[in-house]
A and B are shown apart, each in its own frame.
Chain A
Protein backbone atom coordinates (compact mmCIF):
# COMPACT_ATOMS: atom_id res chain seq x y z
CA UNK A 1 0.00 0.00 0.00
CA UNK A 2 1.42 3.34 -1.02
CA UNK A 3 -0.19 6.43 0.49
CA UNK A 4 0.35 9.97 -0.70
CA UNK A 5 -0.30 12.70 1.87
CA UNK A 6 -0.34 16.29 0.60
CA UNK A 7 0.32 18.82 3.39
CA UNK A 8 0.17 22.59 3.64
CA UNK A 9 2.18 25.04 5.74
CA UNK A 10 -0.13 27.36 7.71
CA UNK A 11 0.16 29.79 10.64
CA UNK A 12 -0.06 28.11 14.05
CA UNK A 13 -3.72 28.25 15.18
CA UNK A 14 -2.42 29.70 18.49
CA UNK A 15 -0.88 32.68 16.66
CA UNK A 16 -2.70 36.01 16.52
CA UNK A 17 -3.16 36.89 12.84
CA UNK A 18 -2.69 40.47 11.70
CA UNK A 19 -3.92 41.56 8.27
CA UNK A 20 -1.57 43.92 6.39
CA UNK A 21 -2.81 47.50 6.11
CA UNK A 22 -3.21 47.28 2.33
CA UNK A 23 -5.23 44.06 2.62
CA UNK A 24 -2.81 42.15 0.37
CA UNK A 25 -2.09 39.42 2.91
CA UNK A 26 -1.19 38.75 6.53
CA UNK A 27 1.86 39.96 8.43
CA UNK A 28 4.28 37.05 8.56
CA UNK A 29 6.82 38.42 11.02
CA UNK A 30 6.75 36.47 14.30
CA UNK A 31 4.29 33.97 12.86
CA UNK A 32 4.95 30.37 13.83
CA UNK A 33 4.29 27.92 11.01
CA UNK A 34 2.91 24.43 11.40
CA UNK A 35 1.44 21.61 9.34
CA UNK A 36 -2.22 22.36 8.65
CA UNK A 37 -3.95 20.51 11.54
CA UNK A 38 -6.29 18.61 9.19
CA UNK A 39 -3.27 17.49 7.14
CA UNK A 40 -1.55 16.38 10.34
CA UNK A 41 -4.57 14.14 10.93
CA UNK A 42 -4.07 12.80 7.39
CA UNK A 43 -0.39 12.02 8.14
CA UNK A 44 -1.44 10.23 11.33
CA UNK A 45 -4.07 8.16 9.49
CA UNK A 46 -1.52 7.12 6.86
CA UNK A 47 0.94 6.12 9.58
CA UNK A 48 -1.76 4.01 11.26
CA UNK A 49 -2.35 2.17 7.98
CA UNK A 50 1.39 1.57 7.76
CA UNK A 51 1.43 0.19 11.30
CA UNK A 52 -1.19 -2.39 10.28
CA UNK A 53 0.42 -3.08 6.90
CA UNK A 54 4.16 -2.62 7.47
CA UNK A 55 5.00 -3.01 3.79
CA UNK A 56 3.29 0.32 3.15
CA UNK A 57 5.03 3.50 2.14
CA UNK A 58 3.91 6.94 3.23
CA UNK A 59 4.99 9.80 0.97
CA UNK A 60 4.29 13.39 2.05
CA UNK A 61 4.13 16.08 -0.59
CA UNK A 62 3.89 19.86 -0.41
CA UNK A 63 3.53 22.60 -3.01
CA UNK A 64 5.29 25.74 -1.83
CA UNK A 65 8.44 27.66 -1.09
CA UNK A 66 11.74 26.23 0.25
CA UNK A 67 10.73 27.06 3.85
CA UNK A 68 7.99 24.41 3.56
CA UNK A 69 10.74 21.82 4.02
CA UNK A 70 10.31 22.39 7.77
CA UNK A 71 6.78 20.96 7.74
CA UNK A 72 7.80 18.08 5.47
CA UNK A 73 10.65 17.27 7.90
CA UNK A 74 8.17 17.31 10.77
CA UNK A 75 5.98 14.79 8.91
CA UNK A 76 9.09 12.66 8.30
CA UNK A 77 9.87 12.90 12.04
CA UNK A 78 6.34 11.64 12.78
CA UNK A 79 7.17 8.58 10.67
CA UNK A 80 6.53 9.27 6.97
CA UNK A 81 9.03 7.51 4.69
CA UNK A 82 9.97 10.24 2.24
CA UNK A 83 8.96 13.69 1.10
CA UNK A 84 8.47 15.62 -2.11
CA UNK A 85 8.49 19.41 -2.30
CA UNK A 86 7.25 20.97 -5.53
CA UNK A 87 8.89 24.39 -5.41
CA UNK A 88 6.70 27.28 -6.49
CA UNK A 89 6.45 30.95 -5.58
CA UNK A 90 3.12 32.52 -4.63
CA UNK A 91 0.53 33.39 -5.64
CA UNK A 92 -0.82 29.90 -6.29
CA UNK A 93 -4.54 29.20 -6.48
CA UNK A 94 -6.29 26.00 -5.46
CA UNK A 95 -6.68 24.82 -9.04
CA UNK A 96 -2.94 25.04 -9.63
CA UNK A 97 -2.17 23.11 -6.44
CA UNK A 98 -4.66 20.39 -7.44
CA UNK A 99 -3.13 20.11 -10.93
CA UNK A 100 0.40 19.87 -9.48
CA UNK A 101 -0.69 17.23 -6.96
CA UNK A 102 -2.45 15.27 -9.73
CA UNK A 103 0.83 15.22 -11.66
CA UNK A 104 2.78 14.07 -8.58
CA UNK A 105 0.14 11.37 -8.06
CA UNK A 106 0.48 10.27 -11.69
CA UNK A 107 4.22 9.83 -11.16
CA UNK A 108 4.03 8.25 -7.70
CA UNK A 109 1.02 6.00 -8.45
CA UNK A 110 -0.26 5.76 -4.86
CA UNK A 111 -3.11 3.44 -3.86
CA UNK A 112 -4.60 6.10 -1.66
CA UNK A 113 -4.35 9.85 -1.20
CA UNK A 114 -5.25 11.26 2.23
CA UNK A 115 -5.35 14.99 2.91
CA UNK A 116 -7.07 17.48 5.18
CA UNK A 117 -10.60 18.52 4.27
CA UNK A 118 -9.42 22.12 4.26
CA UNK A 119 -6.51 24.30 5.30
CA UNK A 120 -7.12 26.47 8.34
CA UNK A 121 -5.72 29.59 6.64
CA UNK A 122 -8.00 30.08 3.62
CA UNK A 123 -10.60 27.41 4.47
CA UNK A 124 -11.10 26.66 0.76
CA UNK A 125 -12.08 23.00 1.07
CA UNK A 126 -11.37 22.35 -2.62
CA UNK A 127 -8.09 20.51 -3.15
CA UNK A 128 -9.26 16.99 -2.32
CA UNK A 129 -12.33 17.23 -4.51
CA UNK A 130 -10.46 18.79 -7.45
CA UNK A 131 -7.69 16.23 -7.16
CA UNK A 132 -10.13 13.27 -7.30
CA UNK A 133 -11.82 14.81 -10.34
CA UNK A 134 -8.50 15.41 -12.17
CA UNK A 135 -7.40 11.84 -11.48
CA UNK A 136 -10.81 10.36 -12.22
CA UNK A 137 -10.71 8.61 -8.83
CA UNK A 138 -13.50 8.09 -6.28
CA UNK A 139 -13.51 10.42 -3.29
CA UNK A 140 -14.78 10.36 0.28
CA UNK A 141 -14.60 13.70 2.04
CA UNK A 142 -14.83 14.64 5.74
CA UNK A 143 -13.82 11.16 6.90
CA UNK A 144 -14.29 10.38 10.59
CA UNK A 145 -13.39 6.69 10.22
CA UNK A 146 -11.36 4.85 7.58
CA UNK A 147 -11.07 1.12 7.01
CA UNK A 148 -9.12 -0.70 4.32
CA UNK A 149 -9.77 -4.29 3.26
CA UNK A 150 -9.52 -6.33 0.07
CA UNK A 151 -8.64 -3.43 -2.19
CA UNK A 152 -11.58 -1.36 -0.99
CA UNK A 153 -11.80 1.59 1.32
CA UNK A 154 -14.75 2.16 3.65
CA UNK A 155 -15.18 5.65 5.02
CA UNK A 156 -17.61 6.94 7.65
CA UNK A 157 -18.49 10.63 7.28
CA UNK A 158 -20.31 12.89 9.67
CA UNK A 159 -23.21 14.47 7.82
CA UNK A 160 -26.10 16.59 9.03
CA UNK A 161 -28.29 14.38 11.16
CA UNK A 162 -26.16 11.24 11.24
CA UNK A 163 -23.38 9.15 9.80
CA UNK A 164 -22.94 8.18 6.18
CA UNK A 165 -20.84 5.18 5.15
CA UNK A 166 -19.18 5.12 1.73
CA UNK A 167 -17.15 2.38 0.13
CA UNK A 168 -14.99 2.62 -2.97
CA UNK A 169 -12.36 0.56 -4.80
CA UNK A 170 -8.75 1.79 -4.58
CA UNK A 171 -7.17 4.03 -5.73
CA UNK A 172 -9.10 6.93 -4.25
CA UNK A 173 -8.97 10.20 -2.37
CA UNK A 174 -9.95 10.78 1.27
CA UNK A 175 -10.18 14.11 3.06
CA UNK A 176 -10.01 14.06 6.86
CA UNK A 177 -12.33 15.55 9.43
CA UNK A 178 -11.31 16.66 12.90
CA UNK A 179 -12.45 13.56 14.79
CA UNK A 180 -10.69 10.97 12.62
CA UNK A 181 -7.77 10.59 15.02
CA UNK A 182 -5.44 12.42 17.38
CA UNK A 183 -2.04 12.93 15.72
CA UNK A 184 1.05 11.67 17.53
CA UNK A 185 3.99 13.77 18.60
CA UNK A 186 7.22 13.14 16.75
CA UNK A 187 9.55 11.06 18.94
CA UNK A 188 13.20 11.91 19.55
CA UNK A 189 14.46 8.92 17.53
CA UNK A 190 11.94 9.85 14.81
CA UNK A 191 13.34 13.38 14.66
CA UNK A 192 16.90 12.08 14.37
CA UNK A 193 15.94 9.56 11.67
CA UNK A 194 14.12 12.22 9.67
CA UNK A 195 17.46 13.80 8.91
CA UNK A 196 18.47 10.85 6.79
CA UNK A 197 15.19 10.44 4.92
CA UNK A 198 14.81 11.55 1.31
CA UNK A 199 13.33 14.98 0.64
CA UNK A 200 13.13 15.50 -3.10
CA UNK A 201 12.66 18.98 -4.51
CA UNK A 202 11.04 19.48 -7.88
CA UNK A 203 11.06 22.96 -9.47
CA UNK A 204 7.50 23.45 -10.71
CA UNK A 205 8.71 24.64 -14.15
CA UNK A 206 10.00 21.15 -14.89
CA UNK A 207 6.45 19.75 -14.71
CA UNK A 208 5.35 21.74 -17.78
CA UNK A 209 1.87 22.45 -16.43
CA UNK A 210 -0.38 25.36 -17.27
CA UNK A 211 -0.86 26.96 -13.89
CA UNK A 212 -2.43 30.27 -14.85
CA UNK A 213 -4.51 31.21 -11.80
CA UNK A 214 -8.29 31.27 -12.18
CA UNK A 215 -8.74 32.78 -8.78
CA UNK A 216 -7.52 36.11 -7.49
CA UNK A 217 -7.55 37.23 -3.87
CA UNK A 218 -8.74 40.81 -4.05
CA UNK A 219 -8.47 41.86 -0.44
CA UNK A 220 -8.16 40.52 3.09
CA UNK A 221 -9.82 42.23 6.02
CA UNK A 222 -10.03 41.55 9.75
CA UNK A 223 -13.46 40.63 11.07
CA UNK A 224 -15.16 43.66 12.57
CA UNK A 225 -14.92 43.94 16.34
CA UNK A 226 -17.84 42.53 18.27
CA UNK A 227 -19.98 45.18 19.90
CA UNK A 228 -20.68 44.98 23.59
CA UNK A 229 -24.14 43.72 24.52
CA UNK A 230 -26.92 46.01 25.64
CA UNK A 231 -29.57 45.61 28.33
CA UNK A 232 -33.12 46.53 27.49
CA UNK A 233 -35.91 47.25 29.93
CA UNK A 234 -38.68 45.12 28.46
CA UNK A 235 -39.59 42.56 25.82
CA UNK A 236 -41.48 45.25 23.98
CA UNK A 237 -38.38 47.41 23.72
CA UNK A 238 -36.37 44.38 22.52
CA UNK A 239 -38.86 43.63 19.75
CA UNK A 240 -38.95 47.28 18.76
CA UNK A 241 -35.13 47.45 18.56
CA UNK A 242 -34.91 44.22 16.61
CA UNK A 243 -37.33 45.76 14.17
CA UNK A 244 -36.05 49.33 13.92
CA UNK A 245 -32.30 48.97 14.62
CA UNK A 246 -31.17 45.41 13.91
CA UNK A 247 -33.79 45.11 11.15
CA UNK A 248 -34.13 41.36 11.61
CA UNK A 249 -37.88 41.39 12.18
Chain B
Protein backbone atom coordinates (compact mmCIF):
# COMPACT_ATOMS: atom_id res chain seq x y z
CA UNK B 1 0.00 0.00 0.00
CA UNK B 2 2.79 2.40 0.89
CA UNK B 3 5.52 2.85 -1.69
CA UNK B 4 8.56 5.05 -1.21
CA UNK B 5 9.94 4.44 -4.69
CA UNK B 6 9.70 7.67 -6.65
CA UNK B 7 8.41 7.58 -10.22
CA UNK B 8 11.21 8.02 -12.79
CA UNK B 9 10.12 11.59 -13.60
CA UNK B 10 9.97 12.48 -9.90
CA UNK B 11 13.52 11.17 -9.52
CA UNK B 12 14.74 13.21 -12.50
CA UNK B 13 12.96 16.28 -11.16
CA UNK B 14 14.56 15.76 -7.74
CA UNK B 15 18.03 15.39 -9.23
CA UNK B 16 17.61 18.34 -11.59
CA UNK B 17 16.42 20.69 -8.87
CA UNK B 18 19.06 19.37 -6.44
CA UNK B 19 21.70 20.27 -9.01
CA UNK B 20 20.09 23.66 -9.66
CA UNK B 21 19.94 24.33 -5.92
CA UNK B 22 23.58 23.32 -5.43
CA UNK B 23 25.00 25.22 -8.39
CA UNK B 24 22.78 28.32 -8.59
CA UNK B 25 20.66 28.85 -5.47
CA UNK B 26 22.99 28.02 -2.58
CA UNK B 27 25.89 30.17 -3.86
CA UNK B 28 23.54 33.20 -4.03
CA UNK B 29 21.97 32.73 -0.59
CA UNK B 30 24.39 34.64 1.64
CA UNK B 31 24.65 37.69 -0.60
CA UNK B 32 20.85 37.83 -0.91
CA UNK B 33 20.46 37.66 2.86
CA UNK B 34 23.01 40.43 3.43
CA UNK B 35 21.49 42.65 0.72
CA UNK B 36 17.88 41.99 1.69
CA UNK B 37 17.12 41.35 -1.98
CA UNK B 38 17.23 38.51 -4.49
CA UNK B 39 18.81 38.85 -7.93
CA UNK B 40 15.85 38.96 -10.37
CA UNK B 41 17.96 37.13 -12.97
CA UNK B 42 18.27 34.15 -10.63
CA UNK B 43 14.50 34.11 -10.08
CA UNK B 44 14.01 34.13 -13.85
CA UNK B 45 16.35 31.15 -14.17
CA UNK B 46 14.03 29.26 -11.83
CA UNK B 47 11.02 30.29 -13.87
CA UNK B 48 12.73 29.14 -17.07
CA UNK B 49 12.73 25.63 -15.60
CA UNK B 50 8.93 25.91 -15.62
CA UNK B 51 8.41 26.13 -11.84
CA UNK B 52 5.34 28.35 -12.32
CA UNK B 53 4.45 27.84 -15.97
CA UNK B 54 4.57 24.05 -16.30
CA UNK B 55 1.27 23.19 -14.53
CA UNK B 56 -0.40 26.24 -16.13
CA UNK B 57 0.72 25.22 -19.63
CA UNK B 58 -0.55 21.70 -18.97
CA UNK B 59 -3.97 23.03 -18.05
CA UNK B 60 -4.05 25.27 -21.12
CA UNK B 61 -3.12 22.38 -23.38
CA UNK B 62 -6.07 20.48 -21.94
CA UNK B 63 -3.81 17.69 -20.76
CA UNK B 64 -4.59 15.60 -17.75
CA UNK B 65 -2.74 17.24 -14.95
CA UNK B 66 0.44 15.49 -13.90
CA UNK B 67 0.63 17.80 -10.95
CA UNK B 68 0.85 16.13 -7.61
CA UNK B 69 1.33 17.40 -4.08
CA UNK B 70 4.09 14.83 -3.61
CA UNK B 71 5.99 16.01 -6.67
CA UNK B 72 5.51 19.56 -5.40
CA UNK B 73 6.91 18.57 -2.01
CA UNK B 74 9.96 17.02 -3.63
CA UNK B 75 10.61 20.19 -5.64
CA UNK B 76 10.04 22.47 -2.64
CA UNK B 77 12.47 20.50 -0.45
CA UNK B 78 15.27 20.66 -3.02
CA UNK B 79 14.88 24.38 -3.71
CA UNK B 80 14.63 25.24 -0.01
CA UNK B 81 17.76 23.16 0.59
CA UNK B 82 19.45 25.77 -1.60
CA UNK B 83 17.87 28.72 0.19
CA UNK B 84 14.45 29.24 1.76
CA UNK B 85 14.02 32.89 0.78
CA UNK B 86 15.01 32.30 -2.84
CA UNK B 87 12.82 29.18 -3.05
CA UNK B 88 9.80 31.07 -1.74
CA UNK B 89 10.47 33.93 -4.15
CA UNK B 90 10.66 31.56 -7.13
CA UNK B 91 7.50 29.69 -6.15
CA UNK B 92 5.37 32.54 -4.80
CA UNK B 93 3.04 32.87 -7.81
CA UNK B 94 2.03 29.24 -7.42
CA UNK B 95 0.28 30.27 -4.20
CA UNK B 96 -2.36 31.57 -6.61
CA UNK B 97 -1.94 29.44 -9.72
CA UNK B 98 -2.16 26.01 -8.09
CA UNK B 99 -5.39 26.69 -6.15
CA UNK B 100 -6.73 28.37 -9.30
CA UNK B 101 -6.01 25.33 -11.48
CA UNK B 102 -7.57 22.96 -9.00
CA UNK B 103 -10.44 24.95 -7.52
CA UNK B 104 -11.11 27.91 -9.83
CA UNK B 105 -14.13 28.20 -12.09
CA UNK B 106 -13.53 27.81 -15.81
CA UNK B 107 -14.11 31.53 -16.30
CA UNK B 108 -11.54 32.38 -13.61
CA UNK B 109 -8.98 30.01 -15.07
CA UNK B 110 -9.45 31.25 -18.62
CA UNK B 111 -9.21 34.87 -17.52
CA UNK B 112 -6.21 34.63 -15.22
CA UNK B 113 -4.01 31.62 -16.00
CA UNK B 114 -2.62 32.57 -19.43
CA UNK B 115 -0.50 35.36 -17.94
CA UNK B 116 1.32 32.76 -15.84
CA UNK B 117 2.08 30.46 -18.76
CA UNK B 118 5.25 31.97 -20.21
CA UNK B 119 8.84 31.95 -19.04
CA UNK B 120 8.31 35.35 -17.45
CA UNK B 121 5.06 34.74 -15.55
CA UNK B 122 3.08 37.42 -13.76
CA UNK B 123 3.66 37.75 -10.04
CA UNK B 124 1.02 36.76 -7.52
CA UNK B 125 1.02 36.11 -3.80
CA UNK B 126 -1.24 34.89 -1.03
CA UNK B 127 -2.33 36.48 2.25
CA UNK B 128 -3.08 33.81 4.81
CA UNK B 129 -1.44 34.48 8.17
CA UNK B 130 -2.76 37.01 10.68
CA UNK B 131 -0.68 38.58 13.41
CA UNK B 132 -2.74 37.48 16.39
CA UNK B 133 -1.78 35.28 19.31
CA UNK B 134 -4.83 33.06 18.71
CA UNK B 135 -4.43 32.91 14.94
CA UNK B 136 -5.66 29.75 13.26
CA UNK B 137 -6.42 29.33 9.56
CA UNK B 138 -9.75 27.85 10.62
CA UNK B 139 -10.78 31.00 12.50
CA UNK B 140 -9.74 33.97 10.45
CA UNK B 141 -10.50 37.50 11.57
CA UNK B 142 -10.26 38.96 8.11
CA UNK B 143 -13.90 39.17 7.05
CA UNK B 144 -15.66 39.11 3.72
CA UNK B 145 -19.08 40.73 3.84
CA UNK B 146 -21.47 39.98 1.00
CA UNK B 147 -22.98 42.96 -0.80
CA UNK B 148 -25.24 43.00 -3.84
CA UNK B 149 -22.61 42.62 -6.54
CA UNK B 150 -19.77 41.06 -4.62
CA UNK B 151 -17.89 41.19 -1.33
CA UNK B 152 -16.22 43.71 0.94
CA UNK B 153 -13.00 42.66 2.67
CA UNK B 154 -11.83 44.00 6.02
CA UNK B 155 -8.90 42.83 8.10
CA UNK B 156 -5.16 42.59 8.49
CA UNK B 157 -2.66 40.01 7.21
CA UNK B 158 1.04 39.54 7.82
CA UNK B 159 3.95 37.64 6.26
CA UNK B 160 2.57 38.15 2.76
CA UNK B 161 5.55 37.41 0.51
CA UNK B 162 6.70 39.39 -2.54
CA UNK B 163 3.86 41.89 -2.76
CA UNK B 164 5.97 44.42 -4.66
CA UNK B 165 5.16 43.92 -8.33
CA UNK B 166 2.45 41.35 -7.63
CA UNK B 167 -0.68 41.73 -9.75
CA UNK B 168 -2.96 39.50 -7.74
CA UNK B 169 -3.19 38.36 -4.16
CA UNK B 170 -5.21 35.40 -2.97
CA UNK B 171 -6.73 36.57 0.30
CA UNK B 172 -8.01 34.02 2.77
CA UNK B 173 -10.98 35.31 4.74
CA UNK B 174 -14.03 34.29 6.76
CA UNK B 175 -17.31 35.05 5.08
CA UNK B 176 -20.70 35.15 6.72
CA UNK B 177 -23.56 33.60 4.89
CA UNK B 178 -26.80 31.75 5.46
CA UNK B 179 -28.05 33.34 8.64
CA UNK B 180 -24.70 34.13 10.16
CA UNK B 181 -23.09 30.74 9.59
CA UNK B 182 -19.39 31.25 9.11
CA UNK B 183 -17.34 29.68 6.37
CA UNK B 184 -13.92 30.33 4.91
CA UNK B 185 -13.11 31.44 1.40
CA UNK B 186 -10.28 32.64 -0.78
CA UNK B 187 -10.63 35.84 -2.81
CA UNK B 188 -8.63 36.89 -5.85
CA UNK B 189 -7.80 40.53 -5.16
CA UNK B 190 -5.89 42.84 -7.55
CA UNK B 191 -2.95 44.15 -5.54
CA UNK B 192 -3.74 47.75 -6.49
CA UNK B 193 -7.35 47.63 -5.29
CA UNK B 194 -8.60 50.68 -3.38
CA UNK B 195 -8.36 50.10 0.35
CA UNK B 196 -5.30 47.81 0.29
CA UNK B 197 -2.38 49.22 2.29
CA UNK B 198 1.01 47.59 2.66
CA UNK B 199 3.95 47.89 5.00
CA UNK B 200 7.23 46.06 4.56
CA UNK B 201 8.12 43.87 7.51
CA UNK B 202 11.59 43.55 9.01
CA UNK B 203 12.12 39.97 10.05
CA UNK B 204 14.61 37.91 12.02
CA UNK B 205 15.08 35.56 9.07
CA UNK B 206 14.06 35.42 5.42
CA UNK B 207 15.79 38.78 5.03
CA UNK B 208 16.16 38.34 1.30
CA UNK B 209 12.43 37.87 0.84
CA UNK B 210 10.25 40.95 1.06
CA UNK B 211 7.29 40.21 3.26
CA UNK B 212 4.49 42.64 3.95
CA UNK B 213 1.77 43.43 6.37
CA UNK B 214 -1.38 44.06 4.35
CA UNK B 215 -4.40 45.97 5.60
CA UNK B 216 -7.75 45.57 3.88
CA UNK B 217 -10.08 48.45 4.59
CA UNK B 218 -13.43 48.09 2.84
CA UNK B 219 -11.85 46.47 -0.21
CA UNK B 220 -14.51 45.65 -2.80
CA UNK B 221 -14.20 42.36 -4.66
CA UNK B 222 -16.48 41.37 -7.51
CA UNK B 223 -18.67 38.31 -7.06
CA UNK B 224 -16.50 36.57 -9.66
CA UNK B 225 -13.46 37.20 -7.43
CA UNK B 226 -14.33 34.43 -5.01
CA UNK B 227 -12.17 31.44 -5.89
CA UNK B 228 -14.43 28.71 -7.18
CA UNK B 229 -17.36 31.09 -7.66
CA UNK B 230 -20.62 29.98 -6.04
CA UNK B 231 -19.19 26.49 -5.55
CA UNK B 232 -16.37 28.15 -3.57
CA UNK B 233 -13.35 26.14 -2.45
CA UNK B 234 -12.57 23.07 -0.40
CA UNK B 235 -11.01 25.19 2.34
CA UNK B 236 -9.54 22.42 4.53
CA UNK B 237 -7.86 20.98 1.44
CA UNK B 238 -6.51 24.40 0.50
CA UNK B 239 -4.98 24.80 3.97
CA UNK B 240 -3.53 21.27 3.90
CA UNK B 241 -1.86 22.05 0.57
CA UNK B 242 -0.40 25.29 1.88
CA UNK B 243 0.93 23.47 4.92
CA UNK B 244 2.37 20.58 2.92
CA UNK B 245 4.35 23.01 0.75
CA UNK B 246 5.72 24.86 3.77
CA UNK B 247 6.58 21.63 5.57
CA UNK B 248 8.48 20.31 2.55
CA UNK B 249 10.49 23.54 2.52
CA UNK B 250 11.20 23.17 6.21
CA UNK B 251 12.55 19.67 5.52
CA UNK B 252 14.86 21.19 2.91
CA UNK B 253 16.21 23.73 5.42
CA UNK B 254 16.68 21.07 8.09
CA UNK B 255 18.44 18.72 5.67
CA UNK B 256 20.77 21.50 4.58
CA UNK B 257 21.71 22.18 8.20
CA UNK B 258 22.16 18.50 9.05
CA UNK B 259 24.38 17.79 6.04
CA UNK B 260 26.51 20.86 6.68
CA UNK B 261 27.00 19.99 10.35
CA UNK B 262 27.77 16.35 9.52
CA UNK B 263 30.42 17.26 6.96
CA UNK B 264 31.91 19.86 9.27
CA UNK B 265 32.11 17.35 12.12
CA UNK B 266 33.95 14.86 9.93
CA UNK B 267 36.59 17.45 9.00
CA UNK B 268 36.97 19.46 12.17
CA UNK B 269 39.52 17.98 14.55
CA UNK B 270 39.69 18.45 18.29
CA UNK B 271 42.03 16.54 20.61
CA UNK B 272 43.51 14.83 17.57
CA UNK B 273 40.32 13.32 16.15
CA UNK B 274 37.37 14.52 14.06
CA UNK B 275 34.64 15.80 16.38
CA UNK B 276 32.16 13.47 14.63
CA UNK B 277 33.88 10.61 16.49
CA UNK B 278 32.99 12.18 19.84
CA UNK B 279 29.77 10.75 21.24
CA UNK B 280 28.35 14.10 22.29
CA UNK B 281 28.50 15.27 18.68
CA UNK B 282 27.69 11.92 17.06
CA UNK B 283 24.51 11.51 19.10
CA UNK B 284 23.44 15.03 18.17
CA UNK B 285 24.02 14.32 14.48
CA UNK B 286 22.08 11.06 14.71
CA UNK B 287 19.13 12.86 16.28
CA UNK B 288 19.24 15.47 13.53
CA UNK B 289 19.21 12.80 10.81
CA UNK B 290 16.21 11.11 12.46
CA UNK B 291 14.28 14.39 12.69
CA UNK B 292 14.91 15.22 9.04
CA UNK B 293 13.64 11.83 7.88
CA UNK B 294 10.68 11.83 10.26
CA UNK B 295 9.69 15.30 9.07
CA UNK B 296 9.88 14.22 5.44
CA UNK B 297 7.72 11.17 6.12
CA UNK B 298 5.03 13.34 7.72
CA UNK B 299 5.16 15.81 4.82
CA UNK B 300 4.94 13.01 2.29
CA UNK B 301 2.03 11.41 4.10
CA UNK B 302 0.00 14.60 3.86
CA UNK B 303 0.97 15.02 0.19
CA UNK B 304 0.19 11.37 -0.52
CA UNK B 305 -3.31 11.73 0.95
CA UNK B 306 -3.93 14.95 -0.97
CA UNK B 307 -2.90 13.23 -4.20
CA UNK B 308 -5.51 10.56 -3.55
CA UNK B 309 -8.18 13.15 -2.95
CA UNK B 310 -8.36 12.20 0.71
CA UNK B 311 -8.87 14.50 3.62
CA UNK B 312 -5.56 15.46 5.24
CA UNK B 313 -6.69 17.94 7.89
CA UNK B 314 -5.47 15.88 10.85
CA UNK B 315 -2.26 14.73 9.16
CA UNK B 316 -1.36 18.23 8.06
CA UNK B 317 -1.94 19.56 11.57
CA UNK B 318 0.35 16.91 13.09
CA UNK B 319 2.86 17.51 10.30
CA UNK B 320 3.12 21.28 10.74
CA UNK B 321 3.54 21.03 14.51
CA UNK B 322 6.19 18.36 14.29
CA UNK B 323 8.08 19.72 11.32
CA UNK B 324 8.26 23.29 12.65
CA UNK B 325 9.73 22.09 15.95
CA UNK B 326 12.05 19.54 14.35
CA UNK B 327 13.41 22.08 11.87
CA UNK B 328 14.12 24.53 14.65
CA UNK B 329 15.84 21.83 16.68
CA UNK B 330 17.94 20.57 13.77
CA UNK B 331 19.10 24.01 12.67
CA UNK B 332 19.87 24.95 16.28
CA UNK B 333 21.88 21.75 16.70
CA UNK B 334 23.79 22.58 13.53
CA UNK B 335 24.88 25.89 15.05
CA UNK B 336 25.90 23.96 18.17
CA UNK B 337 27.94 21.36 16.26
CA UNK B 338 29.91 24.16 14.63
CA UNK B 339 30.55 25.71 18.03
CA UNK B 340 31.82 29.28 17.77
CA UNK B 341 31.94 28.92 14.00
CA UNK B 342 28.20 28.33 13.98
CA UNK B 343 27.51 31.79 15.33
CA UNK B 344 29.47 33.77 12.77
CA UNK B 345 28.20 34.69 9.35
CA UNK B 346 30.97 32.95 7.44
CA UNK B 347 29.07 29.68 7.82
CA UNK B 348 25.44 29.41 6.66
CA UNK B 349 24.05 27.63 9.74
CA UNK B 350 23.13 30.84 11.59
CA UNK B 351 21.16 31.91 8.49
CA UNK B 352 19.32 28.59 8.43
CA UNK B 353 18.51 28.88 12.14
CA UNK B 354 17.04 32.35 11.59
CA UNK B 355 15.03 31.12 8.62
CA UNK B 356 13.85 27.99 10.43
CA UNK B 357 12.55 30.07 13.34
CA UNK B 358 9.86 31.34 11.01
CA UNK B 359 8.20 27.99 10.52
CA UNK B 360 6.90 28.23 14.08
CA UNK B 361 5.57 31.70 13.30
CA UNK B 362 4.13 31.37 9.78
CA UNK B 363 1.20 29.51 11.15
CA UNK B 364 0.67 30.64 14.63
CA UNK B 365 2.19 29.22 17.75
CA UNK B 366 3.40 25.66 17.80
CA UNK B 367 2.19 25.44 21.37
CA UNK B 368 -1.50 25.44 20.50
Contacts and interface: CB of A to CB of B under 8 A. Distances in A.
B50 A185 contact: no
Nearest to B52: A188
Interface in A21-38: 32, 34
A77 interface: yes
A77 B16 contact: yes
B214 to A, nearest CB: 30
B12 A194 contact: yes
Contacts of A165: none
A68 to B, nearest CB: 12
A187 B9 contact: no
B42 to A, nearest CB: 13
A221 B128 CA distance: 58
Contacts of B8: 69-70, 73, 195
A32 B57 CA distance: 32
A195 B19 contact: no
Contacts of B16: 74, 77, 185-186, 191
A189 B50 contact: yes
Nearest to A182: B23
A215 interface: no
Contacts of A74: 12, 15-16
Contacts of A192: 9, 54, 58, 66
Contact of B13 (A34, A69, A191): A191
Contacts, number: 50
Contacts of A187: 48-50, 54
Nearest to B66: A192
- Give the bracket for the number of chain A residues in contact with chain B: 10 to 19
Given A14-B22, A73-B9, A195-B8, 11 more contacts: A34-B15, A73-B8, A77-B12, A77-B16, A186-B12, A186-B16, A187-B50, A188-B50, A191-B12, A194-B9, A195-B9
B317 interface: no
B51 interface: yes
A191 B19 contact: no
Interface of B: 8-9, 11-13, 15-16, 19-20, 22, 48-51, 53-54, 57-58, 66
B50 to A, nearest CB: 4
A188 B13 CA distance: 7
Contact of B54 (A70, A185, A189, A194): A189
Interface string A176-200: 0000000001111111101100000
A195 B65 CA distance: 14
Contacts of A73: 8-9, 12
Contacts of B13: 188, 191
Contacts of B48: 187
A146 to B, nearest CB: 24
B81 to A, nearest CB: 14
A188 B12 contact: no
